[in-house]
Amino acid sequence: MSALWLAVGFWLAAWALNVLLAGSFLARTRAGRALVPLLFGVAVLVLWEGLVRGLNVAPVILPAPSVIAAKIGAELPVLWQDFAQTILKGAIPGFVIGAGAAFVTAIAIDRSPFLQRGLLPIGNFVAALPIVGLAPILVMWFGFDWQSKAAVVVVMVFFPILVNIVAGLQSSERMQRDLMATWGASYWQTLWKLRLPAAMPFIFNGLKIASTLALIGAIVAEFFGSPVYGMGFRISTEVGRLGLDMVWATIAVAALAGSVFYGLITLIERWVTFWHPSQRH
């Protein structure tokens, strides 16, 4: 029981410190803004550990963080193999192909307002559909290996990105386009120098939404058939064997991969759209 009380005590102390920090001058500094959520995260982990140990929670219901960390350390090669199969071979190629196809499609229909007006409502609707349901069909078409996972990802990311690029290409103002016309800029020059840069905030918004969808697609597709490795395969088999520590280890890898992927896109966005009001500090 003492482990539980220790953890609760730590939680309360961390929370009190956070309240203090949030009220102090530190809240305005970068360090303070990073420290508070970090402290909160650590406090949650400690509380989790304390709860599991103090209440003797069975490991088949919830393993302690320390057990999960030990499992990650022990199973690194397996986790890496799964990661390579699902993320490097499934999610990322699918994401790149889907984004590229959306980009080409958006440029292709850019000159036809008629097609755009037809495609935007449909694209918006399809973007809201549970496209994940296509996973079993695509696995049937492309086989069990990474090709089918990449295909699922392509289909899932295509429409959200397409809709955002088309909306972004319309976002430059009339005045700005007129100015380009007075300079005698051609269609491609206007596209390259004005409309694409103006569309970048929208495009990155679409890429961010798609980054989480890509991981979901790659993992779900593995539930319908995969080689004997891959994160989705690992999760569904280990759940069947009640090896929850391995499941949590894989989830930790997935969470880390998802956050890093999202973070990378945010970094590139900051670099590309430094001029946008939301990026000025």
Chain positions contacting other proteins, by CB under 8 A: 15, 18-19, 21-23, 27, 33, 36-37, 39-41, 58, 60-62, 114-119, 121-122, 125, 128-130, 132-137, 139-141, 211-212, 215-216, 219-220, 223-224, 231-232, 235-236, 239-240, 242, 244, 247-248, 250-251, 254-255, 258-259, 261-262
Q: Which is nearer to other proteins, 69 or 196 (CB)?
A: 69
Q: Which is nearer to other proteins, 19 or 179 (CB)?
A: 19
Position of tokens 């495609």?
119
CA-to-CA distance for 2 and 104, rounded, in angstroms? 61
CA-to-CA distance for 108 and 105, rounded, in angstroms? 5
Q: Which is nearer to other proteins, 190 or 211 (CB)?
A: 211
Contact between 36 and 27 under an 8 Å Cβ cutoff? The reply is yes
99 membership: H or E segment, kind and range = helix 92-108
* Closest distance of CB 41 from other proteins, Å: 7
CA-to-CA distance for 279 and 281, rounded, in angstroms? 6
Side chain identity at residue 63, one-letter code: P
Q: Which is nearer to other proteins, 82 or 180 (CB)?
A: 82
Helix, strand, coil % over all residues of the chain, rounded to 5: 85, 0, 15
* Closest distance of CB 215 from other proteins, Å: 4
Contact between 127 and 160 under an 8 Å Cβ cutoff? The reply is yes
- Dihedrals φ, ψ of 226, to 5°? -160, 165
* Closest distance of CB 132 from other proteins, Å: 6
* Closest distance of CB 184 from other proteins, Å: 31
CA 2 to chain centre: 39
* Closest distance of CB 100 from other proteins, Å: 20
Radius of gyration of the chain (CA): 24
Q: Which is nearer to other proteins, 197 or 243 (CB)?
A: 243
* Closest distance of CB 240 from other proteins, Å: 8
Q: Which is nearer to other proteins, 98 or 180 (CB)?
A: 98
* Closest distance of CB 20 from other proteins, Å: 8
Angle of CA points 213, 157, 115, to nearest 5°: 145
Q: Which is nearer to other proteins, 196 or 238 (CB)?
A: 238
* One-letter-per-residue 3-state SS of 13-50: HHHHHHHHHHHCHHHHCHHHHHHHHHHHHHHHHHHHHH
Q: Which is nearer to other proteins, 255 or 268 (CB)?
A: 255
Tokens of 136: 């079993």
